[in-house]
Amino acid sequence: MGWVHCGRIAAAPIRPRPTIFAKTYRRPHSAPLVADSGATRSYGSRLYNGRVVMRGSGRITFIAGGLLVAAAWIAGTAGLPEAYWPVVEVLPELLAVLLLVAAFRFRRSRLAMAAIIVAVTNILLREVLVTGETAVVHNGLALLSIAVPINLGILALLRDHPLQRPGPLLHIGAILVQPWFAAAFLRALERDPVSGSNDGWLVLLRSPHAALLAFLIAVVFTILAFVFRRGTFEVALLWVLVASALALLSHRSPHSMALLMAAGQLALLFSLVEDSYRLAYHDQLTGLPGRRALDETLARLEGDYVLAMVDVDHFKRFNDRFGHDVGDQALRMVADELALVGNGGRSFRYGGEEFSLVFSGCTPDQMWDTLDAIRERISERSFAIRSPKRPAKKPEQAVKPAGPTKSVKLTVSIGAAGPSNRATEPEEVLKAADGALYKAKRRGRNRVVIEGVRAKPRKKA
């Protein structure tokens, strides 16, 4: 069967596969969504959590970080004019101050730690290692090339906390005192050059394979952390590791190394900007764009368009009966279906159990099949409620269910409208769509009402 795209017949779109962390899973359309009425996380909640619906998290940071590191490498290879050297030398430290202020404000302890690690590394490269004796410089660079990826890799395993807590402060203190412990370690290695008892340590330090292995292990930990958390910080941390590896392992000039360190700091800054954007414009529960994004989209609308309001039927009753945790999973399921809307539509979380759909370049009489298909898909989905007596962990051997499993279905009512003589502005059209939604409620729910369009008869099963 063809798919109507604003009056044009096209092939039915292929629905994308729902993402489970880094893997893809083809969920049969008839498969029930599994939910827990207790506090444990179920398979279904993992499938419909915010990180799953919020596809593309970290994409801007990944692109920007790659471009910054590449630009720093090219600029360092080509050579900068001497007039820029004084600024470039201290740029990583200046960016670190900015990142520390932002980390304190946004409670991002890992961001502060990463910025301090990069700044301290740049200071050591500029003030100590480059100007010292040849043997000390060689051993110091080798030790720094191992210590930096270890410190950055540890951040991938931690979680963010407010910066003023004792744990983050102690961690920052440990980072700051490491150069003195490293200096003492190097002096101990150089103290007895005749006996050769320290030759093994020196060979290990000076081996390029040791530093490369440390960077590779840190990169693996960072990628695994991103797979499970889907955070922008992990993406930025990956580019910080790349920039640090290029600076420490390629034996470049001090100004080239400072440029790469600055690129790492800017990648961290981009991750914060992207996170702030998503917090401001996306709903954390469902991952859909939120009310602010809807308002800005409405302000840009012109010409033909259709606005639709979607409301989950009897959601308060559902929430009171099964609890807020299960209710949140139900909203995620509805949001996941709305995110796959066809006809070029965009879905938004309006608030509570209400969602909004925006179709640009369409007229109301073209939207019936699309909106009714959304309603039908959601009404056909099974939502399984497991017993609260279900064990928190999966037993090694199959056991008889601890309680009954209830299977319920959710329905939605949809109201839509387009510009008319009585509603010319997008805000007025949205109110008209909301009025059509209440008509759908009054007519029995689980139906579509489009302002000014006669309802089509439902297909018989």
CATH code (residue 350): 3.30.70.270
And the tokens for 2? 């063809």
Cα-Cα-Cα-Cα torsion 16, 18, 19, 24, nearest 10 degrees, comes to -80
In tens, the pLDDT along 156-197 reads 999 999 988 999 999 999 999 998 888 787 777 666 554 555
Confidence of residue 135 (pLDDT cuts 50, 70, 90): low
Residues 28 and 81 both lie in one domain: no
* Inside any domain, residue 459: no
Instruction: Give tens-digit pLDDT for 235-263.
Output: 999 999 999 999 998 877 888 999 999 99
Same domain, 96 and 202: yes
Residue 429: its pLDDT value, please?
93
Higher pLDDT, 13 or 237: 237
Residues 294, 163, single domain; the answer is no
Name the band, by pLDDT with cuts 50, 70 and 90, for residue 47.
Answer: very low
Same domain, 127 and 166: yes
Looking at 239, 263, 281, the residue that finishes a domain is: 281
pLDDT in tens, 251-298: 778 889 999 999 999 999 999 999 888 888 888 888 899 999 999 999
Q: Are residues 204 and 301 in the same domain?
A: no
On whether both 30 and 64 belong to a single domain, the answer is no
| Cα distance between residue 201 and residue 139, in whole Å | 10
In the sheet with 382-386, reading across from the earlier edge strand, the strands are 33-36, 382-386, 406-409
Domain membership of residue 296 (yes or no) is yes
Burial label, 450 (beta-carbon count in 10 A; 0-12, 13-18, 19+): buried
Is position 194 within any domain?
yes
Pick from 343, 307, 289, 308: nearest CA to 424: 307
In a domain, 456, yes or no: no
Residues 295 and 158 in one domain: no
Q: Which of 93, 234, 353, 451 is catalytic?
A: 353
User: Is there a catalytic annotation at residue 451?
Assistant: no
What per-residue confidence (pLDDT) applies to 78?
87
pLDDT (mean) for 360-366: 89
Q: Is the pLDDT of residue 32 over 50?
A: no
The predicted pLDDT at position 253 comes to 82
Tokens of 329: 């999973």
Q: Looking at residue 201, what is its pLDDT? A: 59
Section 305-329 average pLDDT: 90
In a domain, 128, yes or no: yes
Q: Which among 259, 281, 303 is the end of a domain? A: 281
Per the structure, how many domains does the chain have? 2
Q: What is the pLDDT of residue 70?
A: 96
pLDDT digits (tens, 9 = 90+) for 112-127: 999 999 999 999 888 7
Structural domain of 182: 59-281
pLDDT in tens, 383-429: 777 655 555 555 566 555 555 567 788 899 999 999 988 888 999 99
Residues 202, 125 share a domain:
yes
Of 223, 249, 281, the last residue of a domain is 281
Q: Provide the phi-psi class of 118: left if phi over 0, else alpha when psi is between -120 and 50, else beta.
A: alpha
Residues 19 and 107 reside in one and the same domain: no
Is the pLDDT higher at 208 or at 291? 291
Is 318 in the same domain as 422?
Answer: yes
Q: Let me know if residue 457 belongs to a domain.
A: no
CA–CA gap between residue 129 and residue 126 (Å, rounded) = 7
Q: 376 is written with which tokens?
A: 């039908």
262 and 332 belong to one structural domain? no
For the chain, the distance separating the N- and C-terminal CA atoms, rounded to the nearest angstrom, is: 16
Query: Residue 335 pLDDT more than 50?
Result: yes
User: Which pLDDT score is estimated for 393?
Assistant: 56
Residue 461 lies in a domain: no
DSSP state of 360: E
111 and 201 housed in the same domain: yes
Residue 295 in domain: yes
Asked which of 58-67, 268-277, 330-339, 396-405 is least confident by mean pLDDT, the reply is: 396-405
pLDDT above 70: percentage of residues in the chain: 76
